[in-house]
Amino acid sequence: MENHGVDPDIEVENMPADLLAGKDAQLETAVDLMMKAIAGKPAGLPAPPPLLPAYPPSGIVPPQP
């Protein structure tokens, strides 16, 4: 690999006119690819953390053994 970088999985050519117009073909291709990859996998919400006990009225929490 000396004097040679990593070959891309997907080759996308950025045209100078598109870059000047604010369009990034590489970014759009990457976002489209990721949206397709996660389309059938809904994330859902994680389970809520366990409830913590309330502080005592004195405000001093006794040390745990």
- Separation of first and last alpha carbons in the chain: 57
Q: What share of the chain is helix, strand, coil (3-state, %, to 5)?
A: 30, 0, 70
Give the pLDDT of residue 26: 92
Query: Mean pLDDT, consecutive 10-residue segments, the chain of 65 residues?
Result: 82 89 93 91 87 76 79
Give the pLDDT of residue 23: 92
| pTM of the model as a whole | 0.55
Torsion of CA 35, 31, 48, 54, to 10 degrees: -160
Is the backbone of residue 59 left (phi > 0), alpha (psi -120 to 50) or beta?
Answer: left
- Residue 40 per-residue DSSP state: T
